[in-house]
Chain A
Amino acid sequence: MKKPRTCVLRTDGINCDEETFYAFEKAGAECRMVHVNQLRRGEERLSTYQILALPGGFSYGDDVHSGKILAVELTSFLREQLLEFVNAGKLVLGICNGFQVLVRTGLLPYRNLGEIKAALISNDSGHFECRWVNLVVERSHCVFTRGMEGAVIHAQVAHGEGKFYTDPATMQEIENRGQVAFRYAAAGGMPSMDYPDNPNGSLNAVAGICDSTGRIMGMMPHPERYVEKTQHPDWRRMPCADAAPHGLVIFKNAVAYIRQT
């Protein structure tokens, strides 16, 4: 079967590139590490790929705002390539810093390059935090979560600026259009506004959203850190049947979608 070609974008301070690369490859994709400079110089073109992955990290140190400097770079230099890519029905996944970048380019929530309609702002706690959380998978257009709707999955968050924030009208619209992909939840799956179940104070407990086509998704938690059983902190406590790594499903969905189209 043909392997979907995946571009794992790197630049200064991106640091979850290798595990994202591995997660996609494990799910059946063929990945390539691409530095943003290679795109700027024209050595690489987005059009040769079917999936664009923006991994986590601290791009350019998260200076000014998390993901901001990279977002400005992408919208300044790769505008046409990005538009062509998303309009061609291809997939974009932003994890953690990648989600912050997608929101700051305007690709999320409305696929409007340069129009910033939401933000990921400082956690209510005021500091970085790393812990495992429960996510409830929402019913949405999202192609990355197909077949997972209603499930409660485990993922690690590791961020200082992860509070999803927008104005009430936009929030309502995102909800109405079914663009919320994941919410922070209590163990039973009830969306939660309480710390630490909701680790950052995100509005409506939003942990990840997609655009209206469901082909662009961003999420703060790290699914790429749970593609092997032993990556879960409590794999020793789990019955074997429960031990299918939750994060892997998201990458497999992406691969399956490209294969079908």
Chain B
Amino acid sequence: MINEVRVIGKTGITDGKGEDILYEINHALGIKSVEKIKTARVFRLEGISEVDAVRLAEKLLAESVFQSYTVNGPLIEDAAVVLEVAYKPGVMNPEAASLIKSAADLGITGLVAADSSWEYGFYGDKITGKDINRIVNSLLVNATVEYVVRKSPETLVINGTPGLTEIIPVRQMNDHELDELSRDKLFLNLEEMKVIQDYFKGIRRDPTDCEIETIAQTWSEHCGHKTFRAKLMVDGKEKKPLLERLKDATEECKNPLVLSAFEDNSGVMQFYAGMAVCGKVETHNSPSAIEPYGGAMTGSGGVFRDIAGTGLGAKVLASTDIFCFAPPDTATEDIPPGCLHPHYLLRRVVAGVRDYGNRMGIPTNNGSVHFNRDFRAKPSVIVGAYGILPAAVCRKGSPSAGDKVVALGGSTGRDGIHGATFSSGEMTDRTMEVNSSAVQIGHPIEEKRMFDAILAARDEGLIRAITDCGAGGFSSAVGEMGSETGARIALDRVPLKYPGLSPWEILLSESQERMVMAVAPENVERLLAICRNYNVDATVLGDFTSDRRFTATFQNRTVLDLEMDFLHHGLPQRVMKAAWNKPVFQEPESTTAGNWTDLFSRVLGHLNVCSKEPIVRLYDHGVQGTCALPPFTGINGHGPNDAVVLAPIRGSSYGMVVSHGLNPVLNVIDPYYGSLWAATEAVSNAVASGANPREMVLIDNFIWPFPDEELLGALDLAVDACVDFVRATSMPFISGKDSLSSTYRAKDGTVIKIPPVLCVSAFGRIPDVSRTVSTDFKEKDSLIVMVGYRNIVEMAGSVYYDLLGAVGNNLPKINLNRLMQVLEAVYGAVSSGKLLACHDISEGGLAAALSEMCFGGGTGARVRIPGGEQTENFLFNETAGCFLAEIPSGTDPFKVFREVPVTVIGKTTGENSIMVEKSGKVLCKLDLKVLKKSWQQPMKEVFH
């Protein structure tokens, strides 16, 4: 029997959740009939008496100071409509375990299952059924994981018996049948399917479902990076595979700070005091497109595990979030079938990143959001994480034969089955239905305590090797870890969330918050004891062997028996053709501006320029107490910074800088120069804050539509740009990820390719965090100077052009020969304490950078356009690698920057305005209050 406890805030208690939803209903959905919303919690408790349910209500669920409750009775009775939204059965509700634990702590035994959900009461006489449907479908319920409870469930216990292991008769299949087998499930091409067929013909048996699934996920684009490893024919000429080019460039620059590149779960760089720092950036586009909250959470959780699974275990220091969405005010009819609205996506993705990072105690303190209409079919959700570990344990471990395979963390359920193959496929209007099992709700507390246990085990030297259990689940984690030795596991030892999983599901499940370790037999007991102390489940699944086979058993029967060699080296190298043709975009008709206040306001209020502070405030960017340059500083904390600076070793001034850069529009105009821009922007952001360009490393993330010949040509150019950048700057890429599935294909044949995105992340070290600067102006009467090379007619892809309704063709072309000289000059100036403030110039150009420096400083500025320069281009050009700096009055800027071009553009003032002069005349005087309002408004509307 299930007892239901409902809990609500007493009269007079602000219902923040209800008010928030009401705002969304009124503003985002435009429904005015709802006047008020009350929210209540519902707890379902199975296996205890009503008397115990009352006790639980009193002692745990409701606090009489501010709440009232009912047991097995309605609570919201006067509303026009009352409905309850709960997680679907089988979707793990993290709160259930806490309910069971706390009941036991209170001495209430017999609680076999529990659940919690939300009830909403809608008030208003004119509410229609249609209104409620829209509210439910577009705001309250994500049908992938949630449902409206029409009838209370009879039990919360999930039962089931495991299915048998099936034999897939691939040996007899014709091409059509092989295609059918692959479609929606394996996502392999016919050639690859035939290689599998030939292998099994060779060993004279058919594969089990476990085997074929394991091969499919190992060979998926997501895990196998087939495009990046392919032999490329570019315009008929053979070129080295993309990944090889990137790796070669890194090796060539022989940067002594690189400790581990492209071989572990993250890239590792030497830090100070015997420590190393590491970084990894992941994309989580496909899951976030269909269930943004769960998708963003599991994206964060996965990239954190990549850090925790680096070397013999690292501590996560920080996370970054970088998103690309369609504008939040996109008309509903513009959203392709099967896709979610960007307003909802944006809010839910941010909520996912917030809830995972905050609960883990990992500060999210660097990020950005980019908007472009073409992301309406699929957003780009990029999450990064950075960590620290002793340099002595920073290399990837390898298991020895005889080591135990230990699974750590959460139980295994049907979550995320086919995640690896799913994220490698295109998104279609069927994606939402077919792949709904590919997402789940993350459980950050599970992950946090697992990390606590891992660090304790690492410090006692108990870990021989460790890796994340992510895409492909155990099949990938154990298969990869044992690739040089062999591994044998018993699937029936895996702790399950509920019974009934078939062996292949256990093997492939992508349930979150799990990791796999190799542990020497003599250390197993101690490891298990540590895990018990931290409330972490740890299970010995089997052994690493010396037979170079991957074997799994279930109920003493072998369900998987593959040669590691075939699994990891059997995938044929693809040969792919690439050819890029430069598209031609419209040029603006006229490039002169009219009303300056209006123009500045529109530039500052452009979605790609506007303040993202409302998002940053939702993240705990201060936890761990390491932040020496936070995302926002200055008067009222309104001035945005270019990078984050952390002091990760408490009590020391050693610093780590993290930043990133990307510009989807520029990549569309020209993938080579667009990519150079992204890399330059990433490092400029760091250098503007005080990073040393000689002690920095990079991470690449290519987020591309499904690569046809044209797009592969674009990818080829983007990789060339990265390689050229590395050669010119000696900043190596040490980690990266490609996600080549950003194409949407509708039933009617409509294809939407999202803009190709190269996101470059940068991290580096500096000896002293006190030698860094923020962007906010510090004083009045300082000199404002512009540093760097730019050709201001290169306006294509700028925010200014976008406001003129054009893209243009002449985009900023970074001059790699001169870039290092500029970066070193800026670093020299910052680190020697000669600058009061420094800001890199990017979207919105000099005008936006200057305005932001004023917002943060509470100062004004008086600037002049140099004679002969076109005013709009001077103000709004977006060439990366250029900087605005504040220098104390009386200092000679030409001595500060030496041979690098410096333009003195004006002075800071005590007024609350920006005055622009040209040829001795005042062009305009702009009220900073007005500009700031335009700049802050867009995200305030989304995140009220």
Contact = CB atoms under 8 A, between A and B. Distances in A.
A58 interface: yes
A236 B60 CA distance: 46
Contacts of B13: 121, 165
Contacts of B17: 122, 126
Contact of B778 (A64, A165, A237): A237
B60 A132 contact: no
Interface string B563-581: 0000000000000000000
B642 interface: no
Contact of A58 (B64, B445, B774): B445
A75 to B, nearest CB: 9
A16 B619 CA distance: 15
Contacts of A123: 16
Contacts of B98: 60-61, 63-64, 69
A72 B100 CA distance: 12
Given A58-B445, A63-B94, A72-B105, A126 B20 contact: yes
A183 interface: no
B911 interface: no
A138 interface: no
Interface in B627-659: 627-628, 630, 632-634, 637, 647, 650-651, 653
A183 B281 CA distance: 41
B14 A122 contact: yes
Contact of A72 (B60, B618, B647): B60
Interface centre among A15, A69, A104 (most CB of B within 10 A): A15
B630 A233 contact: yes
Contacts of B133: none
Interface in B52-100: 59-61, 63-66, 94-95, 98-99
A70 to B, nearest CB: 9
Contacts of A222: 622, 625
B799 to A, nearest CB: 27
Given A165-B13, A237-B778, A57 B770 contact: no
B907 interface: no
A111 interface: no
A13 to B, nearest CB: 4
A225 B619 CA distance: 15
B445 A77 contact: no
B445 A12 contact: yes
Interface in A30-67: 35, 37-38, 56-58, 60-65
A167 B17 CA distance: 22
Interface string A64-92: 11001100110011000000000000000
B625 A130 contact: no
Main SS class of interface, B: mixed
Contacts of A122: 14, 16-17
A195 to B, nearest CB: 12
A230 B651 CA distance: 11
Interface stretch (A18-26, A143-151, A211-219, A249-257): A18-26
A131 B653 CA distance: 23
A188 B116 CA distance: 44
A228 B654 CA distance: 13
A158 B622 CA distance: 8
Given A72-B60, A116-B63, A127-B20, A230 B647 contact: yes
A201 interface: yes
B384 to A, nearest CB: 19
B625 A236 contact: no
B138 interface: no
B618 A127 contact: yes
B152 interface: no
Contacts of B59: 72
Contacts of A237: 633-634, 776, 778
B746 to A, nearest CB: 35
B535 interface: yes
A113 to B, nearest CB: 13
A228 B651 CA distance: 8
A125 interface: yes
Interface in A95-137: 104, 116-119, 121-132
A236 B16 contact: no
Given A69-B102, A201-B14, A129 B617 contact: yes
Given A38-B533, A58-B358, A72-B106, A124 B620 contact: no
A192 interface: no
Max chain B C-beta neighbours (<10 A), residue from A16, A38, A60, A116: A60
Bin chain B's interface residue count: 35 or more
A22 B618 CA distance: 26
Interface in A1-29: 10-13, 15-16, 18-19, 22, 26
A22 B627 contact: no
Contacts of A233: 627, 630, 632-633, 637
Contacts of B728: none
Listed residue (B116, B449, B769) with the most chain A CB atoms within 10 angstroms of its CB: B449
B20 A167 contact: no
Contact of A131 (B99, B532, B617): B617
A122 B41 CA distance: 14
Contact of A64 (B60, B448, B619): B60
B153 interface: no
Interface string B348-373: 00000010001111000000000000
B554 interface: no
B19 interface: yes
A63 B99 CA distance: 8
A26 B651 contact: yes
B340 interface: no
A75 B635 CA distance: 44
B639 to A, nearest CB: 9
Given A132-B637, A234-B634, A13 B445 contact: yes
A227 interface: yes
A22 B632 contact: no
Interface in B758-788: 769-770, 773-774, 776, 778
A96 B281 CA distance: 30
B101 interface: yes
A233 B644 CA distance: 11
A56 to B, nearest CB: 8
A58 B617 CA distance: 18
A156 to B, nearest CB: 5
A173 B438 CA distance: 54
A231 interface: yes
Nearest to A158: B620
Contacts of B19: 126
A164 to B, nearest CB: 11
B928 to A, nearest CB: 18
Contacts of B773: 236
A127 B634 CA distance: 24
B16 A76 contact: no
Given A16-B623, A130-B619, A64 B61 contact: yes
Contacts of B63: 65, 104, 116, 119
B398 interface: no
B787 to A, nearest CB: 20
B317 to A, nearest CB: 11
Interface string A194-238: 000000010000000000000000000010110110110110110
Contacts of A128: 354, 358, 618, 620
Contact of B622 (A35, A61, A156): A156
Given A72-B59, A158-B622, A237-B776, A119 B16 contact: no
22 contacts: A12-B534, A13-B445, A13-B448, A15-B359, A15-B624, A18-B624, A19-B623, A22-B651, A37-B532, A37-B533, A60-B98, A62-B359, A68-B60, A76-B106, A117-B65, A122-B14, A127-B20, A130-B618, A163-B14, A201-B14, A230-B628, A233-B627
Given A130-B619, A236-B774, 17 more contacts: A12-B449, A13-B445, A16-B625, A18-B624, A37-B534, A58-B358, A64-B95, A64-B99, A68-B102, A69-B101, A76-B105, A76-B107, A126-B19, A130-B617, A158-B622, A167-B65, A233-B632
